[in-house]
Amino acid sequence: MSLRVMLASLRRHSLMPALVLLQVAFACAILCNVFFLAWQRLEPMLAPSGLDADNLIVVDNLAAMGRSFTVAETEAGERALRAVPGVRAASAGFALPMVDSASILLNLRGPTQVAVGVSAFFGKGLVQSLGLKMLGGRDFVASEYRPWGIGASNGDDAWNTGAAQPIIITQALADKLFGRANPLGQMLIDPEDKDGHGYQVIGVVKHMLRNQLGLAIDGRADYTVLLARSIGNTAMLNYAVRVDPSMREAAMQGVKKAIERQFAPLMSGGVQPRVEFYADKRDEALKSSRATLWLLLGLVLTIAIVTLVGIMGLTGFWVQRRTRQIGIRRALGARRADILRYFLLENVLIVGAGIALGMLLAYVGNLMLMHYYELSHLPLAYLPMGAAVMLAMGQLGVWGPARRAAAVPPVVATRSV
């Protein structure tokens, strides 16, 4: 059977195919965007943390009200944590992984003029305490750290050192900023910081998930750096404590007690320190994303079912209307397989046209949403995904009616209805 005959038949009775086409177009457009939204939620969930997630305890909510913690107090805390049985490493830090009470964001520009916004972690010996995997270069050495704190004074401004400061970046950042060039020794500047002297890359770690999960999308999950800052006088701080896997629970109890002992006398105003495993914190932080993901999954299923039912209903009716034609074709020698193939192919044609329109709609819809909301560009890779689902739904929906059509006996041709 030639395509021309098929198209002629579609043109003759255009309402039903037009409705199927329209339905597929809308469903395809919505699905592409929903897949995209779902991926934006999924990306931070799937991104590797790059650290020893199961054995890392993060201490948050240490805040001094109306005064600040001194270097001595911070270091005493560090020593107390290291003395806890089962603790392998402990560092005082600021804006550490999965800490939501504070974050440090800065801009970096490389020699290729590519500029990115990154999250930064501050603290001494974080490569060890977080359990990061170094791919090249070296860790900071003790003399490179400069004291830093928030809401407190630390003598000279730690940011303004008169020379480039060492920085450790992730592999993803190295790829983005330097392309194929060796990142080690490369210079980075902060376009917003007019008096700064920039940063020199001294090390690269494999992964380091940024602590604002909302920003960990569109391939930016690993846009994180370590700067050589030790915690000086500060009104706020965190600790990262890495523990022995075989002593997780005991070490947790020990860490809680040590924090209570060290900081209860220093804190006021009813603020309670939070001591939690990194993995639990991440799980908690992703709760609303997970809820949204279920909602989107429900939407995808509903769309699929609605479309399936729609296609089944319409084609069923359409096949019924053409019973006589089918009988004639059978009488003229068409085999059952021919009839089946005819309807399946016809469906591919209609659904294909719908998909083409739907892709266009998806793209236009995304552009519109981008215009009004902070949403990134719909990557073209999502279009075939929606298309594949629609094609599958189309074939699934037409299968039953096509089988029924193929079962029409040739003798129908001789009857009057």
Partner 1 sequence: MVGYSFELALQGMRRFPRTSALAMLTVAIGLAASMTTLTLLHTLSADPLPGLSQHLYLVWVDTVRAKPTTYTTLDGTGVVDYKRLRMADVEALLAARRAVRQTAVADMFARVEGGDAGHGNDETILAATSDFIPMFGVALRDGRSWTAAEDAARTPVAVIDSELARSLFSTERAVGKVLRIKGHAVRVIGVSAPYAPQPHFFALDQWSFSGSERERVFMPYSAALDVGAEPRRSDGCDADTAKDKTLFSVDVARCAWLGYWVQLDTPQAVADYRIYLNNYLQQQKDLASFGRSQQAQLLDVPQWLTLQNVIPDNVRLNVWLAGSFLLLCMVNVTGLLAAKFMRRSAEVGIRRALGAPRRAVMLQHMIEAGAVCVLGGVLAWPLTLLGLALLRMQGQGFTDLARLDVSMFGALFMLAMLVGMLVGFLPAWQVSMVQPGLQVKSA
Q: Which residue ranges make up the site for partner 1 (CB under 8 A)?
A: 15-16, 19-20, 22-23, 26-27, 29-30, 33-34, 37, 63-68, 105-107, 115-117, 150-153, 192, 212, 215, 220, 235-236, 269-270, 288, 291, 299, 302-303, 306-307, 309-310, 313-314, 316-318, 320-321, 365, 369, 372-375, 416-417
CB of 84: closest distance to partner 1 in angstroms?
A: 28
| Both tokens assigned to 285 | 């932080």
CB of 287: closest distance to partner 1 in angstroms?
A: 9
Chain-centroid distance, C-alpha 125: 28
Residues in the chain: 417
Q: Which is nearer to partner 1, 235 or 331 (CB)?
A: 235
The total of other beta-carbon atoms located within 10 Å of residue 224's CB is 24
- Note whether 49 and 282 are within 8 A (CB): yes
Q: Which is nearer to partner 1, 112 or 317 (CB)?
A: 317
Concatenating the DSSP letter of every residue in 238-270 gives EEEEEE-GGGHHHHHHHHHHHHHHHHTTT--TT
The total of other beta-carbon atoms located within 10 Å of residue 106's CB is 17
Q: Which is nearer to partner 1, 135 or 396 (CB)?
A: 396
CA distance readout (Å), 312 to 301, 344, 346, 410: 16, 12, 14, 24
Distance, CA of 170 to CA of 132 (rounded, Å): 10
The CA dihedral of 28, 32, 35, 41, to the nearest 10 degrees, is: -140
The total of other beta-carbon atoms located within 10 Å of residue 361's CB is 17
Residue with tokens 């490569």: 127
CB of 390: closest distance to partner 1 in angstroms?
A: 12
CB of 204: closest distance to partner 1 in angstroms?
A: 21
- Note whether 29 and 372 are within 8 A (CB): no
CB of 290: closest distance to partner 1 in angstroms?
A: 11
CB of 139: closest distance to partner 1 in angstroms?
A: 26
Q: Which is nearer to partner 1, 182 or 320 (CB)?
A: 320
CB of 63: closest distance to partner 1 in angstroms?
A: 6
- Note whether 118 and 85 are within 8 A (CB): no
Distance, CA of 302 to CA of 260 (rounded, Å): 51
Distance, CA of 208 to CA of 122 (rounded, Å): 13
CB of 26: closest distance to partner 1 in angstroms?
A: 4
Q: Which is nearer to partner 1, 15 or 72 (CB)?
A: 15
The 10 Å CB-count burial string (b at 16+, else e) for 227-236 is bbbbbbbbbb
| Both tokens assigned to 343 | 């309807």
CB of 80: closest distance to partner 1 in angstroms?
A: 23
CB of 25: closest distance to partner 1 in angstroms?
A: 9
The 10 Å CB-count burial string (b at 16+, else e) for 110-125 is beeeebbebbbbbbbb
- Note whether 241 and 81 are within 8 A (CB): yes
Q: Which is nearer to partner 1, 269 or 333 (CB)?
A: 269
Q: Which is nearer to partner 1, 134 or 305 (CB)?
A: 305
Q: Which is nearer to partner 1, 137 or 316 (CB)?
A: 316
CB of 125: closest distance to partner 1 in angstroms?
A: 25
3-state secondary structure of 122: strand
